Amino acid sequence: MLIDNLKISIKNIKERKSRVALTLIGIAIGIMAIVALMSIGEGMQSAVTSELSSLSDTIIVTTGNIDINPMGGGFSGGAGRYFTQRDLDDINRIGGLESVNPIIFSYAYIEYNGEYQGVSLLGMEPESMSNIFGIDFLGLESGEFMQSGDQNKCIVGHNVAKEYFDTEIKVGNKIKLNGYNFFVNGIYKKQGAGFSTETDDYIHLSVRDFKKVTGQENISGILIRVSDVSQVEPIATEIEFAINENHGSDDFANVITMSSILESIQSVLSIISIFLVGIAAIALVVASIGIMNTMLTSVMERTHEIGVMKAIGARNFDVMIIFITEGILISIIGGGVGTVLGILGGQAFSVVSSSTAGPGIPIQPSVTIFTIILALGVALLVGIISSLYPARKAAKMSPIEAVRYE
Amino acid sequence: MNEDNFVIVAENINKTYGKGNSIVNALRDVNIEIKKGDYITIIGPSGSGKSTFMNIIGCLDKPTSGSLFIDSVDVSTLSDNRLAKIRREKIGFIFQKYNLLPTLTALENVSLSMSFAGVDYTTRMKKSQMLLDKVGLSHRLTHKPSEMSGGEQQRVAIARALSNNPSIILADEPTGNVDSKSGNKIMDILEEINNQGETVIVVTHDPNVAKRGKWTIRIHDGMVSPYAD
């Protein structure tokens, strides 16, 4: 019986190729949108997660209110508030820490080839520098990070190297910072959006050199790495409490962990995904109305046939199943086509976005088996729901009226 | 009355359409008994009620009042699905305009009502082939209705009508849309079916067709009377 239904449905669909094709396009577009958007969403999530999880043992402490971006504006923010040696001591007393690295921030004059420019300086231990800024999508364009204990060496941000002076700064060049000689050990890659603010227009030095050059040691941020990743959150809370107590304020310190950043990024991404999939769902509703319309027309056209089937003994249920099978067939084919198009669409998006938006976090759309099952499941559901009414209408026809209908 | 010998027993069947002043009495107090193995022709001008009568015997329609027994089962009060079961198991329809499904081949058309009856695929294909062979269409198994002549289509319809071993073959103007040669062939087949013990009822307005029955009844203004030339 099932095979017969399928046969009848396939034959009927073949009879009305162009109309079915149009209906099919509708459902395919809806499913395509869902698959593409879900795969891009998944891709964004996993890109962000994989990029940031290398920093999962890291806690960043800054002063004042900053935005979500871990480094953008972070260390330079918190106007006029600095951490004290006492804060560092208190943090050092907390157990389970791998390292505690103060980050200091200031400005200096840079002299290169006889030209002078103002530049932002960031002081940090070389080891943490390579840990934080050495990750995949940051990293160096040329040269290498400094070794611990290196002196008079610096890493130059991309913009500083390429745009500040008439002649480009290259690895191995000499520059002067507030009159002190420095050897250019490495040049950062261009970051574009995201982490840009802490590298593109910066020169990174060791803490010791920073103090020498600026005479300052105001700590704008502290970078802490823990030995046990699972302890990140409790330690972060402890640090926040200790520093806030030192300064007698509830919000002096901003303690950021990668997992908290991940969470907020992911929650934003989820909202975006839900919104986009919601739009796709509207497309699907329209498509399902299309199927319903096609099926209703088909029922009208085949009134006579329905009557004949009933006259030769089809039950209402048999007639209903024939039409529902047809609706499901259309929607499943549409769903299959849409899924393939959605996968291709997601890939196309990643190619286009990476070529127009420039380097950043590369998004590789990921199509999970869940996405495919969901897409086909939704297609199936749409097929059933939208053919239910036409099928019922067909089933309820009086055989005698239907046979008479020409 | 011993109903066991009768395939069809109609008792005081009335059928009215419409309401109030515009009421139409399509059938009035029809009483009829049809024995197993009979070959009956029903004749009457158009509008006489013969189609209504045929629809009621065929369980496509229900009488307004009165009872209809098919194989001793009172079908006048059955639900839609029970009626569908009666149509599937007891009645084989042959329509004036063949009413084959245009998208299906001859073989599939014949096997369709068996599929509604739940007969398995191989059995039904075998039987459909046998039936098409019986009506002389073994060379048309995979042809669609549009690829066959009217006479051939009607023979497919006869094969379809026979597929579920019905108690009654009900033919409504079976020769109405075909030429006289094909018409004769169709009537020969119906006669042969009757000779094999099948009850055959043919509705027609053609006296030549009516003559081929063992007996003929006449419907006029919704009333049944014996037919005489």
Taking the complete model, does pTM exceed 0.80, yes or no? no
Is the model's pLDDT at A68 over the cut of 50?
no
Residues with Cβ within 8 Å of residue A24, at least 6 apart in sequence: A330, A333, A334, A337
Ordered by start, the domain boundaries in chain A are 2-51+266-404, 58-226
ipTM of the complex: 0.89
| Cross-chain CB nearest to B121 (options A3, A309, A318) | A3
| pLDDT tens sequence across A281-299 | 888 898 889 899 999 999 9
Quote the minimal CA–CA distance from A399 to chain B in Å: 6
Is the model's pLDDT at A94 over the cut of 80?
yes
Question: Which tokens go with A381?
Answer: 């559901």
Distance, in Å, from the CA atom of A104 to the CA atom of A220, rounded to the nearest integer, reads 5
Residues with Cβ within 8 Å of residue B48, at least 6 apart in sequence: B219, B220, B221, B222
Least confident among A86-100, A186-200, B87-101? A186-200
Closest alpha carbon to A102 in A219, A248, A259: A219
Contacts 24+ apart (CB under 8 A), A93-98: A94/A235, A94/A238, A94/A239, A94/A242, A96/A226, A96/A227, A96/A228, A96/A231, A96/A235, A97/A224, A97/A225, A97/A226, A97/A227, A97/A235, A98/A57, A98/A225, A98/A226, A98/A227
Q: Which of B80, B90, B107 to mutate to test the interface with A (most CBs of A within 10 A)?
A: B80
- The domain tally of chain B equals 1
| Cross-chain CB nearest to A400 (options B60, B108, B113) | B60
Is the model's pLDDT at A373 over the cut of 60?
yes
> Taking a C-beta distance cutoff of 8 angstroms, is the pair A135, A57 a contact?
no
Distance, in Å, from the CA atom of A314 to the CA atom of B115, rounded to the nearest integer, reads 9
Residues with Cβ within 8 Å of residue A285, at least 6 apart in sequence: none
| Cross-chain CB nearest to A308 (options B84, B99, B115) | B99
Q: Output the pLDDT for position A151.
A: 87
Q: Which residues of chain B have pLDDT under 70?
A: 1-4, 227-229
Q: Output the pLDDT for position A45.
A: 78
Enumerate helices (H) and strands (E) in chain B, giving the number of each.
7, 10
Distance, in Å, from the CA atom of B187 to the CA atom of B153, rounded to the nearest integer, reads 14
Is the model's pLDDT at A77 over the cut of 50?
no
Burial (CB < 10 A; 0-12, 13-18, 19+), residue A352, is exposed
The CATH number for B45's domain is 3.40.50.300
Q: How far is CA A99 from CA A94, A138, A253, in A?
A: 11, 22, 19
Least confident among A51-60, A238-247, A329-338, B35-44? A51-60
Residues with Cβ within 8 Å of residue A266, at least 6 apart in sequence: A45, A48, A49
Residue type, B76: S
Determine the residue of chain A that is closest to B83 in CA distance: A313
| Cross-chain CB nearest to A400 (options B55, B88, B113) | B55
Give the other-Cβ count within 10 Å of A271's Cβ. 10
Listed in order, strand segments (DSSP E) in A55-199 are 58-63, 97-112, 115-123, 140-143, 153-156, 174-177, 180-188
Q: For residue A12, which residues of chain B lie inside 8 Å, CB to CB?
A: 103
Q: Output the pLDDT for position B194.
A: 94
Contact A305 B112 (CB under 8 A): no
| pLDDT tens sequence across B164-203 | 999 899 999 999 888 989 999 999 999 999 999 999 999 9
Distance, in Å, from the CA atom of A389 to the CA atom of A387, rounded to the nearest integer, reads 6
Is the model's pLDDT at A135 over the cut of 70?
no
Distance, in Å, from the CA atom of B81 to the CA atom of B216, rounded to the nearest integer, reads 32
Q: For residue B99, which residues of chain A lie inside 8 Å, CB to CB?
A: 304, 307-308, 311, 403
> Taking a C-beta distance cutoff of 8 angstroms, is the pair A153, A146 a contact?
yes
Place of tokens 């299309």: A290
Distance, in Å, from the CA atom of B113 to the CA atom of B101, rounded to the nearest integer, reads 11
Quote the minimal CA–CA distance from A380 to chain B in Å: 25
| Cross-chain CB nearest to B118 (options A1, A15, A304) | A1
Is the model's pLDDT at A53 over the cut of 50?
yes
Residues with Cβ within 8 Å of residue B215, at least 6 apart in sequence: B38, B39, B40, B41, B226, B227
| pLDDT tens sequence across A310-354 | 999 899 999 999 999 999 999 999 999 999 999 998 888 888 877
Quickly state the pLDDT bin for A196 (edges 50, 70, 90).
very low
Q: What is the span of the domain harbouring residue B46? A: 3-226
Contact B89 A313 (CB under 8 A): yes
Quote the minimal CA–CA distance from A393 to chain B in Å: 15
Distance, in Å, from the CA atom of A131 to the CA atom of A99, rounded to the nearest integer, reads 12
Distance, in Å, from the CA atom of A24 to the CA atom of A17, rounded to the nearest integer, reads 10
Q: For residue B112, which residues of chain A lie inside 8 Å, CB to CB?
A: 4, 309, 312
> Taking a C-beta distance cutoff of 8 angstroms, is the pair B148, B117 a contact?
no
Contact B84 A15 (CB under 8 A): no
Instruction: Give just the sign of the alpha carbon dihedral B106, B108, B109, B114.
Output: positive
Q: How far is CA A50 from CA A36, A199, A274, A347, A401, in A?
A: 21, 21, 22, 19, 66
The pair phi, psi for residue A92, each rounded to 5°, is -60, -25
Distance, in Å, from the CA atom of B48 to the CA atom of B66, rounded to the nearest integer, reads 19
